[in-house]
């Protein structure tokens, strides 16, 4: 019916990083397996690479896109890390606790993408970033998308099979 599509977020190919970023969530392998099963069942799937953390998970972009394509995903999107309001200091604390050797490099790259700050709320910049670091991330993304033939078709959903439910006044 093409009534729905599924998007699965995957942050990294490194399971040890994934466990620290998203504890108590499905493993990377299970997420890709879900994409494969949904795709085989004819359900359009997409992968959301989010958040991409420069200096920590950005090198995984090509591999994530390759695995997404192999699993049957048709589309892929990417979102660089955003740290609005109180999230910035919490992220900095988390980064220093879990990746003390990478913290300054990561924070420096985020600031490079966010006009010297940990967050840039300006419309048009908040979802993409700006500067050489953002250009590098988006360039790497575009090359991998093209290489693996992703994002070539627009997703067309249909409400044709929808039927308005009858009266629900007797439910309660």
- Please name each of the domains of the chain with its CATH number: 6-147 (3.80.30.30)
Query: 78 - beta bridge partners?
Result: 49
More confident residue, 157 or 146: 146
Q: What is the pLDDT of residue 161?
A: 84
pTM of the entire predicted model = 0.89
pLDDT higher than threshold 80 for residue 170: no
Confidence of residue 120 (pLDDT cuts 50, 70, 90): confident
Q: What is the pLDDT of residue 44?
A: 94
């Amino acid at each position: 019916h093409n009534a729905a599509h599924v998007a699965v977020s995957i942050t990294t190919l490194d399971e040890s990083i994934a466990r620290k970023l998203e504890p108590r969530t499905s493993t990377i392998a299970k997420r890709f397996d879900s994409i494969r099963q949904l795709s085989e069942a004819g359900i359009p799937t997409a992968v959301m690479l989010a958040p991409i953390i420069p200096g920590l998970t950005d090198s995984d972009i090509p591999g994530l896109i390759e695995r997404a394509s192999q699993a049957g995903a048709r589309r892929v999107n990417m979102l660089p890390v955003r740290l609005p309001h109180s999230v910035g200091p919490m992220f900095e604390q988390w980064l220093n606790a879990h990746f003390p050797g990478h913290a300054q490099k990561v924070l420096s790259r985020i600031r490079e993408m966010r006009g010297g700050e940990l967050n840039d709320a300006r419309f048009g910049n908040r979802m993409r970033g700006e500067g050489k670091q953002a250009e590098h991330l988006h360039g790497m993304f575009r090359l991998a998308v093209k290489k693996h033939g992703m994002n070539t078709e627009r997703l067309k959903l249909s409400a044709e099979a929808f039927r308005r439910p009858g009266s629900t006044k007797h439910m309660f």
